[in-house]
Structure 1
Amino acid sequence: MHGEYKVPGGKLVAVDLDVVDGFLRHVSVSGDFFLEPDEALEVLSGALEGLPVDAGPSVLAQSVTEALQWFPGPVTMVGFDARAVAISVRRALGYSTVWSDHTFELLHPGPLPPALHAALDQVLTEELAAGRRGPTLRFWEWVEPAVIIGSFQSLRNEVDLAAAQAYGITVVRRISGGGAMFMEAGNCITFSMVVPASLVDGMTFEESYTFLNQWVLGALADVGVRATLSGLNDISSPAGKLAGSAQKRVVGGAVLHHVTMSYDIDADKMLQVLRIGREKLSDKGTASANKRVDPVRSQTQLPREAVIDAFVAHFRRQYPTVDGALRPEELARAGELVETKFGDPAWTARVP
């Protein structure tokens, strides 16, 4: 059995192994990483020998870490770590999957109410977990402006409700954590990915953000934007923050990962509606929130539709993708959730 894992921003780790009577045998670790001294490579492989086939990522990584601690002398691992070895083992065994193992369905249904978008995130994630749908990439379109707050944010601390009402802005609470998303039709680019948990098997939350956002950097490069990952879940350019992302994992093995990117944001209006405090800005190296946001439009001079088309084209080149559509039963279920949850003031203010 053979498994590989390319560390985001790092090196490739490969593992070859056999399974005999439920245990790992003949384990061989290799890759284009850097490791000193040479003899430590045998320690990496030996640490995995004899472990049960159902050992989880943390057990595999811990076994490697402990074995290296017993090595007579310091060991230097560059471009990879024990967790990367564990993920490679899990991929060899079929517990972890790679992008090419899946075919993504592209969904771009057109304008929908903000609460329905939030409901669809939950529905599509639950559908994948139940085995009724495969992984998806869904782009949002909407008419009325909205603020989508994170699952655990305080409504009154994050939103000036009087200003939101004055501007006709709908406030919706989503199921994922993270910060508030200020959204106006034509002024931002938002998309949701729903993937099986096997795609990020063995990764920490921090690593899964990096892993699932990596393709976005390539898509931005295609439209002339030099971007990097910053913090836990942000995407930035040298001129400022471009986007933020958030995740939710559900029972059954599905991960929701979504990104909101400023295209031509009205920063002054955003600052009137969102209560962005000094503590929020303290680790960003700036005293003004509108200096944190650098719209894609100013860097590309491209229409929003052209940017989205470039993102879709990049994703298609990278991963197996087919065009898809929302199913009637999914829309019906999402509509129910709007009535009972996402459009209910009690849910929106569940953290007052």
Structure 2
Amino acid sequence: MHGEYKVPGGKLVVVDVEVEDGLLRDVRVSGDFFLEPDEALADIDRALEGAPAEADAAALAARIEAALPPGAVLFGFSAQSVAVAVRRALARATDWRDYDWQLVHDAPQSPVLHMALDEVMTEEVALGRRPPTLRVWEWDRPAVIIGSFQSLRNEVDPEGVERHGVTVVRRISGGGAMFAEPKSTITYSLAVPQSLVSGLSFQDSYAYLDDWVLGALADMGIKAWYQPLNDIATEVGKVAGAAQKRLAAGQGAVLHHVTMSYDIDADKMVEVLRIGREKLSDKGTKSAKKRVDPLRRQTGLPREEVIARMIDSFRGRYGLTEGTVTDAEMARAQELVRTKFGTREWTARVP
């Protein structure tokens, strides 16, 4: 069995392993990482030899750490990342390059249709009827999108929403509320097979699925990193938030979507969202404005150019062909708008 794990912001770790009588055998760790002393690589292999195949990543990492010689230096990887690569090998996880990725970047859509398309397209990936897909959203109106488990009354200011003509919708993933206006944010979804994140913890899958965008930002001169659980941050503030939903249809699939701040109107945002003191305190800020750091200021590039460079970065890493929403997918999405996402029962399911 063969497993690979690209450490977010770090190096590639590769593990080849066999299982005999429930134990790991013939373990071989390799990669483009740095390790001192050289002999420590053999120590890592020996530490994993004979480990129970059902051991979780934490137990495997502990075996590795206990076997490393004093003063060993692991650069670009860690005992934990080796353990993750082992788990991915045992789970027969797939790699980004195992797929023919499709890009969907259509005309502006209503907020409620975006919610439905996310669910439909991810289900189609799970059922094997759609290839893994990167979908870049365009908004046709201002919107507040609340997380699946958030209270509508606690998160949204109805007077501000009405005053600014904002549509409120609820998505299927958890996480916090977001405010979007046409041309003010960059939002994208990844609909991927469950096997792509096999062997990864829920938390690790967030960083893993957005490692490509950190590279794209770096190419635009922005040093960004993942801030657990679901934020992308830079030295001057947060630039994006992510959310996920696992769907069990077919072989299973993961919906991972991200909203990035390009040029948010922070004054309007605090008028339509109830951003509580607790949340601001948790972020270490005194005002909501400081939590929004527009990509326009950091890149100096038009929004369309930022999106184009992100797409080019993804294509350069994994390949990407142009696609579109199929007629059948659109019909199903419109049905979900009518029966689910466009209903008061769904939007206010947590009052």
Asked if these proteins are the same fold (TM beyond 0.5), I'd say: yes
Quote the Cα distance in structure 1 between the aligned partners of 2:217 and 2:7.
20
Q: Is the 8 A contact 2:116 2:333 kept in 1?
A: yes
Q: In structure 1, give the amino acid aligned to 2:318.
A: Y
Paired residues, number = 348
Q: In structure 2, give the amino acid aligned to 1:344.
A: T
Change (3 A) 1:91 1:207: closer
Correspondence 1:15 to 2:24: no
Quote the Cα distance in structure 1 between the aligned partners of 2:199 and 2:91.
12
Q: Which shifted more, 254-263 or 58-67?
A: 58-67
Change (3 A) 1:89 1:229: closer
TM-score scaled by length of structure 1: 0.89
Q: Which shifted more, 220-229 or 332-341?
A: 220-229
- The aligned residue for residue 62 of structure 2 is 65
Correspondence 1:176 to 2:165: no
TM-score scaled by length of structure 2: 0.89
Change (3 A) 1:239 1:13: closer
Question: Match of 1:282, SS?
Answer: helix
Quote the Cα distance in structure 2 between the aligned partners of 1:105 and 1:14.
27
Change (3 A) 1:44 1:151: same
Q: In structure 2, give the amino acid aligned to 1:338.
A: V
Segments of structure 2 that go 5 or more residues without pairing to the other structure are none
What is the CA distance between 1:75 and its match in structure 2?
8.5
Correspondence 1:242 to 2:239: yes
What is the CA distance between 1:133 and its match in structure 2?
1.3
Q: Deviations over 1:168-188 (max 9, x none)?
A: 111000011111110111111
Q: In structure 2, give the amino acid aligned to 1:102.
A: Y
* Root mean square deviation of aligned Cα: 2.7
Quote the Cα distance in structure 1 between the aligned partners of 2:65 and 2:213.
35
Change (3 A) 1:154 1:60: closer
Where do residues 206-245 of structure 1 align in structure 2 (5 Å cutoff)?
A: 206-245=203-242
Change (3 A) 1:35 1:319: closer
Correspondence 1:187 to 2:184: yes
Segments of structure 1 that go 5 or more residues without pairing to the other structure are none
- The aligned residue for residue 93 of structure 2 is 96
Quote the Cα distance in structure 1 between the aligned partners of 2:199 and 2:99.
18
Where do residues 6-45 of structure 1 align in structure 2 (5 Å cutoff)?
A: 6-18=6-18, 24-31=24-31, 33=33, 41-42=41-42, 44-45=44-45
Question: Match of 2:218, SS?
Answer: helix
Change (3 A) 1:224 1:67: closer
- The aligned residue for residue 259 of structure 1 is 258
What is the CA distance between 1:348 and its match in structure 2?
0.6
Identity of aligned residues (%): 61
What is the CA distance between 1:243 and its match in structure 2?
1.2
What is the CA distance between 1:310 and its match in structure 2?
1.2
Q: Deviations over 1:171-229 (max 9, x none)?
A: 00001111111011111111111112222222222211111122112222333333232
